[in-house]
Structure 1
Amino acid sequence: MQSPLFNYAEQQSQERYVVQNPQLLRVALSGQDDVLARKGAMVAYQGLVDFDGEYTSTTQRVTQARTGEGLDLMRCSGQGTVYFANLAQYIHVVDVDRDGLTVDSAYVLALDSTLHSEVVAVDSQYGVSGTGKYQLNITGHGKIALMTSGQPLMMRVTPDKYVSADADAVVAWSGGLRVQMQAQTHSTSVRRRRGDTGEGWELSFLGTGFALVQPSEVMPPQHAVIGQGIAAQYGVGGNGAYGQNQGNVWS
């Protein structure tokens, strides 16, 4: 059999994390270090690999219910290769260092089990569009795979050059940055968008580090339900995946 599809064969690499293609992550397991991944994100694997639901403490469950932030993960262990993807979003691997990383849990695909996550408050404001009141602070040493809707923009932040971004578009930022939240509005009500510009809340980053911004202000429907009936289960009809996302806005 011959086909251009064979150009998409798996990549050979000694690296633990490899971006197989912009929307597919390849992780090698050696039998020693487990990887934690978003539940249901496995699309293929080779070798002897076990998948188990990751334990969450009562405190973690309460925090996630109260804040809306937290990681719902599975633990992948054994020896082999696992491929992960989620809604055909673009994938980016980041090395977490001593400064840590602050990220919205909706954009986490996979991470080393050696990393630690903690829910932190971004600002005293409540109900901010996109980012919300809380984020995840990732600390330790290891790799984490993030997702974006489209190819992102990495913006450097320096003491003499701060960066501002739409709160709906921000994916992650350096843990050492100071963050200020404000509404871009001249209205008497900061909750109402200014005129017809469509601009609302923004985050300003100060210090030294980076801010990762995606070219989308739409949160991916991580827990979307395909719909009801046979037609919907196959992605057709008004309640199917195609009917609910005809513009393909999450890819």
Structure 2
Amino acid sequence: MQSPLFAYTEVQDQSYYSLQNSYLLRVRLDGNTGPDCLARKGAMVAYQGMIEFDGEYQSPYQRRTRGHTGEGLDLMRCSGQGTVYLANLAQQIHVLDVDHEGLTVDSAYVLALDSGLHWEVIAVDSQFGLSGTGQYNLNISGSGKVALMTSGKPLMMPVTPDKYVSCDADAVVAWSTGLRVQMQAQTSSSSVFRRRGTTGEGWELNFVGQGYVLVQPSELMPPQNMQLGGLRGQYGMGPQGARGQNPGNIWSNR
């Protein structure tokens, strides 16, 4: 049998995480020496070897967290010896090494991560009491690898003390945890409840400090259209507001 399809064969690589192409991730597991892989549920497209898949346990506290914030990880644990191939809706995949700098990311963009990493849900801009606009995110820390997904090829933007970056809140994927973040709508107070005048723009995130911001060439639905706790919850006044259920605005997987 002959076909151009045979050009798309497995890429041999000894790395723990390796991209087979822009849309397919290969994870090499060795239960004796390496960590397990926590992958997005349903992301497995193929595997080789003796691999076990189990639903990752969520404590009642984690389930309450997700109910309050809409943020969290719905994961399966991949363990054993062999290789697992992961993908999700043909989105582009990118592998990052998380170290002392840490990573803050929207859970919707997480494809997989090392089981040894620690994550917690945080309120990005809790000092302003805003909620329901996507400002609850995951803070991932420790040492290990994370595979993120984007719609199209992203842009990695450096942030320095003398050069801050402002991004559309709907296009931001992730950023260095050490950056200072503020969420704002560049409108007058009377027009904060609608998109920015007639420009179609809405909430933006401002990043200050030293680090990086990852932006994708695609936007989610406008945050004003998200149904999280109604209008009161959307603007931080309901039980899902930044000061509603958890004054510290931090939830953890530990």
TM tier relative to shorter chain: 0.7 to 0.9
Aligned length: 217
Unpaired stretches in structure 1, ≥5 consecutive residues: 220-251
1:232 aligned partner: none
Q: Distance in 2 between matches of 1:128 and 1:164?
A: 20
- Equivalent residue in structure 2 for 1:54, among 53, 56, 60: 56
- Return the offset for 1:193: 1.5
SS at match of 1:126: coil
Contact 1:187–1:193 at 8 Å: present in 2 too? no
Q: 1:187 to 1:120 in 2, by over 3 A?
A: closer
Residue 100, structure 1, aligned to residue 102, structure 2: yes
Contact 1:171–1:212 at 8 Å: present in 2 too? yes
Contact 1:154–1:213 at 8 Å: present in 2 too? yes
Q: Distance in 1 between matches of 2:100 and 2:136?
A: 21
- Return the offset for 1:40: 0.4
Unpaired stretches in structure 2, ≥5 consecutive residues: 222-254
- Return the offset for 1:195: 2.3
What TM-score does the superposition give when structure 1 sets the normalisation length?
0.84
1:13 aligned partner: 13
- Return the offset for 1:185: 1.9
Contact 2:37–2:77 at 8 Å: present in 1 too? yes
- Return the offset for 1:196: 1.6
1:126 aligned partner: 130
What TM-score does the superposition give when structure 2 sets the normalisation length?
0.83
Q: Distance in 1 between matches of 2:142 and 2:165?
A: 26
Could you give the per-residue CA deviations for residues 11-70 of structure 1, whole angstroms, max 9, x where no partner exists? Answer: 001101001100110000011321000000000000000000001111111001110011
> Structure 1 residue runs of 4+, over 6 Å off?
none
Residue 28, structure 1, aligned to residue 28, structure 2: yes
Question: Percent of aligned positions with the same letter in both sequences?
Answer: 74
Q: Distance in 1 between matches of 2:130 and 2:79?
A: 39
2:213 aligned partner: 211
Q: Distance in 1 between matches of 2:205 and 2:186?
A: 10
2:197 aligned partner: 195
After superposition, residues 159-174 of structure 1 pair within 5 angstroms as 159-174=161-176
1:194 maps to amino acid: R
Q: Distance in 1 between matches of 2:135 and 2:145?
A: 25
Contact 1:128–1:201 at 8 Å: present in 2 too? no
2:27 maps to amino acid: V
- Cα RMSD for the two superposed structures: 1.1
